Structure 1
Amino acid sequence: MMRAVAIGSLLVVLGATAGVAERNLIPTLENQPDVCPEQPPEPEWMQNIDVREAHKRLLIQQVYRAQSMQRIVEAQSCECPTRYPSWEAATGVFFEQFAASEYWDIVEATSEYRRQANELRRDAIPVCEAAGNW
């Protein structure tokens, strides 16, 4: 009898704990970054880009990411303006080099910028962790 009561009590406690944990996992609609909350938003035209042109947005995002990692490594600083500048330089690269490119050329360039950013990321992580911005 004592064993049944103990097991029942344990199940009640575990059920209550699971309920609390589940409530804490409810997503919010806020899109507030954990680091550098004053990050510049993507240009509005990028946010509203047609679905058939989404590959172009992805390329610009990867250019921005690669440029960010490059700046961090070169400056050995992960201050918010270094890590998250305006989108002007990344969109400039796109318009100067890729605006008239075909789909597969953009996909290939996106892959190259992603690879570049990932390589630089290894050196940028320690700098940003030391600054509390990772």
Structure 2
Amino acid sequence: MKHLTSLICAALVVLPASASAERNLIPTLNNQPDVCLDQPAEPDWMQNIAVRESYKRLLVQQIYRAQSMQRIVAAQSCECRTRYPSWDAAEAVYLEAYAASEYWDMVEATSEFRRLANELRLQAMPICEAAGNW
């Protein structure tokens, strides 16, 4: 009985604190980046895409991310314009190679671009950390 009382008392102390912590985890709508404040916005069609077609947006985002990591590694520089250029090149790759593709082909391509970006990230991260842009 003594053990049960101790557990109840502990729960009464911890529960209000955890509820308060949960309230602090509410996401905000502020999407202000931490680095390179002038990052270009995604193309309008990507921002307004229907939920059922969001896999297309994800593919373009992964193309952009992979291209970004490639540019950083190639230039050995993480200037904002190197890391965050316009979306034109990524959009062009999507339109030329994937816009007419089937769903599963796009999902597979998204995985490939994600894998490439993650591999290059290991090389790009120290360059960007040194520049204060990570």
**TM-score, length of structure 1 as denominator length:** 0.81
Alignment of 1:17-28 (within 5 A): 27-28=27-28
Change (3 A) 1:129 1:105: same
1:103 corresponds to which residue?
103
2:66 corresponds to which residue?
66
How far 1:25 sits from its partner (Å)? 5.5
2:81 corresponds to which residue?
81
Change (3 A) 1:108 1:26: closer
User: How many residues of Structure 1 are paired with residues of Structure 2 in the alignment?
Assistant: 118
Q: In 2, distance between residues paired with 1:25 and 1:125?
A: 27
After superposition, what is the alpha-carbon deviation per residue over 1:53-81, rounded to whole angstroms, capped at 9, x for unaligned? 11111000000000000000000000000
2:46 corresponds to which residue?
46
Q: In 1, distance between residues paired with 2:37 and 2:24?
A: 22
Q: In 2, distance between residues paired with 1:34 and 1:71?
A: 20
How far 1:26 sits from its partner (Å)? 5.8
Q: Give the AA of the match of 1:37.
A: L
Q: In 2, distance between residues paired with 1:29 and 1:101?
A: 33
Query: Secondary structure at 2:35's aligned position in 1?
Result: coil
1:126 corresponds to which residue?
126
Q: Give the AA of the match of 2:51.
A: V
1:7 corresponds to which residue?
none
**TM-score, length of structure 2 as denominator length:** 0.81
Gaps of 5+ in 1: 1-17
How far 1:86 sits from its partner (Å)? 0.2
1:33 corresponds to which residue?
33
How far 1:30 sits from its partner (Å)? 1.7
How far 1:103 sits from its partner (Å)? 0.3
Moved over 3 A (4+): 21-28
1:92 corresponds to which residue?
92
